[in-house]
């Protein structure tokens, strides 16, 4: 089995009609299931989306929606066992020096193999909610970041790697970087650790940065600093961003387009303004009405009734139907609506449309 689905000489950008940004990742019908003793959890159950160079995709959803597992599948870091990608494709478009673009289906690579390791860090970087899980407590921040450089770029000397590390730490706003580079993770505050994690994720210049709730555990004033930092770096490096969060307002600030997930599926996908101003899917609409905001008229919140069903439960029909105010009996609880493009760039999974 060859790890490459196709290797092409592509002279023109692998872009769709009317899209000026080159395609970076094309996820087609991704399915990632967890095979547990109690049953099978279909954490990601048919998710498709594209990320283009320099663009930001926000992913919103609550517990169990599959947003984190989707990102983990892209990076092939889903704990396995019990998890496994069981279907679909994750096509990575990697531009080589010389202009050609290689297309690799990441799902066909060995998760622990050399090729996947070189993709992680060099092509895709990831930052997580809890920076301590990214760093080994036994090594200094500097050593760990340097390691990332030395692994991915053979030919770079230790001295050069250290210099680049210090520069990157400075760039992410760590003061006295030339001294703090030798500090240990526990010596940094939460905000500083998050900055160090961003430095580690970006030091090899990935084309895509995935952030999985990176600011959720931070104080709001520190969060604001980190979000601005990510935006600045994104502009500076021309990176694409996949920003995952349950916080709608934060996702709105960071994204060009937003994907709303529920129980492993995409419910709605549109550009940010549309999701905020004209959402169509009942779940998106209900979410908006149920969250307190800092602006706007103060009205009684309308909670979404019921709760999330058990992850082992097999739900016929639309996963949201049990809680949906606009559910149509004998349709929504029986058949799964397809994800349909109802207007250019706006996809909804709902029989109402």
Partner 1 sequence: MANQQEPLLEVNDLKKYFPVSHGFLQRTIGYVKAVDGVNLAVQPGETLGIVGESGSGKTTLGRCITKLYQPTGGKILLRTDNHTFSVTHLSKEELRAFRRSAQTIFQDPYSSLNPRMNVLETVGEPLLVNGIAHGRELEDRVTQMILQVGLRVEHLRRFPHSFSGGQRQRIGIARALVVNPKLVVADEPVSALDVSIQAQILNLLQDLQEKYQLTYIFISHAMSVVRYVSNRIAVMYAGKLVEVGPKDELLANPRHPYTEVLLGAVPRPSQRKHIRRQISPGEPPDLFNLPGGCVFQPRCRYAADICKEQAPQLQEVSQGAFVSCHLSQSLHLEGIQSIV
Name which position in 252, 285, 311, 322 contacts partner 1 (CB under 8 A): 252
Kindly state whether residue 264 participates in binding partner 1, applying the rule CB under 8 A: no
Kindly state whether residue 276 participates in binding partner 1, applying the rule CB under 8 A: yes
**Greatest CA separation for the chain:** 68
Separation between Cα atoms, residue 203 and residue 8, nearest integer Å:
28
Kindly state whether residue 316 participates in binding partner 1, applying the rule CB under 8 A: no
Kindly state whether residue 311 participates in binding partner 1, applying the rule CB under 8 A: no
Binding pattern for the stretch 207-246 against partner 1, x by CB under 8 A and - elsewhere: ------------xxxxxxx-xx--x--------------x
Separation between Cα atoms, residue 185 and residue 135, nearest integer Å:
7
Residue range at the interface with partner 1 (CB under 8 A); choices 76-84, 115-123, 138-146, 187-195: 187-195
Beta-carbon count within 10 A of 220 CB: 8
Separation between Cα atoms, residue 100 and residue 9, nearest integer Å:
5
Structure tokens at 102: 């290689």
Least CB distance from residue 125 to partner 1, whole Å? 20
Separation between Cα atoms, residue 163 and residue 171, nearest integer Å:
12
Name which position in 5, 8, 293, 335 contacts partner 1 (CB under 8 A): 293
Q: Which of residues 76-135 bind partner 1 (CB under 8 A)?
A: none
Interior angle at CA 122, CA 121 and CA 125, nearest 5: 40
Least CB distance from residue 150 to partner 1, whole Å? 31
Beta-carbon count within 10 A of 123 CB: 21
Kindly state whether residue 253 participates in binding partner 1, applying the rule CB under 8 A: yes
Kindly state whether residue 272 participates in binding partner 1, applying the rule CB under 8 A: yes
Name which position in 10, 304, 336, 342 contacts partner 1 (CB under 8 A): 304
Structure tokens at 158: 């230790």
Which residue, 3 or 309, has its beta carbon nearer to partner 1? 309
Tell me which H or E stretch contains 25: strand 23-36
Give the CB-side neighbour count of residue 110, counting CA atoms within 13 A: 6
Q: Please tell me whether the peptide bond between 243 and the residue prior to it is cis, using omega within 30 degrees of 0.
A: no
Least CB distance from residue 101 to partner 1, whole Å? 27
Interface contacts to partner 1, rule CB under 8 A: 56, 62-63, 189-192, 219-225, 227-228, 231, 246-250, 252-256, 272-273, 276, 286-287, 290-298, 300-304, 307-308
């Amino acid at each position: 089995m060859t790890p490459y689905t196709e290797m092409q000489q592509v002279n023109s950008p692998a872009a769709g009609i009317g899209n000026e940004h080159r395609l970076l990742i094309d996820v087609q019908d991704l399915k990632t299931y967890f095979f547990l003793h109690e049953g099978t959890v279909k954490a990601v159950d048919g998710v498709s989306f594209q990320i283009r160079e320099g663009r930001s995709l926000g992913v919103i959803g609550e517990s169990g929606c599959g947003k984190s597992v989707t990102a983990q599948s892209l990076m092939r870091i889903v704990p396995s066992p019990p998890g496994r990608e069981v279907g679909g494709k994750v096509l990575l478009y990697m531009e080589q020096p010389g202009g050609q673009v290689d297309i690799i289906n990441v799902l066909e690579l060995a998760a622990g193999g050399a090729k996947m390791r070189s993709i992680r860090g060099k092509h895709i970087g990831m930052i997580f909610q809890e920076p301590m899980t990214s760093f080994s407590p036994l090594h200094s921040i500097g050593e760990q970041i340097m390691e990332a450089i030395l692994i991915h770029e053979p030919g770079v000397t230790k001295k050069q790697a250290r210099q680049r590390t210090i520069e990157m730490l400075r760039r992410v706003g760590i003061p006295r970087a030339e001294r703090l580079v030798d500090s240990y993770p526990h010596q940094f505050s939460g905000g500083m650790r998050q900055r160090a994690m961003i430095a580690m994720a970006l030091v090899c210049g990935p084309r895509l940065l995935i952030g999985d709730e990176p600011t959720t555990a931070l104080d709001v004033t520190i969060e604001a600093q980190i979000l601005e930092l990510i935006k600045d770096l994104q502009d500076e490096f021309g990176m694409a961003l996949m920003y995952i969060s349950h916080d709608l307002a934060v996702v709105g600030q960071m994204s060009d387009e937003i994907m709303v997930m529920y129980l492993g599926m995409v419910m709605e996908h549109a550009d940010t303004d549309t999701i905020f101003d004209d959402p169509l899917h009942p779940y998106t609409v209900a979410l908006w009405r149920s969250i307190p905001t800092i602006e706007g008229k103060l009205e009684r919140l309308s909670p979404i009734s019921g709760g999330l069903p058990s992850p082992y439960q097999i739900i016929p029909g639309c996963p949201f139907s049990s809680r949906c105010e606009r559910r149509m009996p004998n349709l929504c609880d029986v058949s799964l609506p397809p994800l349909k493009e109802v207007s250019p760039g706006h996809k909804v999974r709902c029989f109402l449309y």
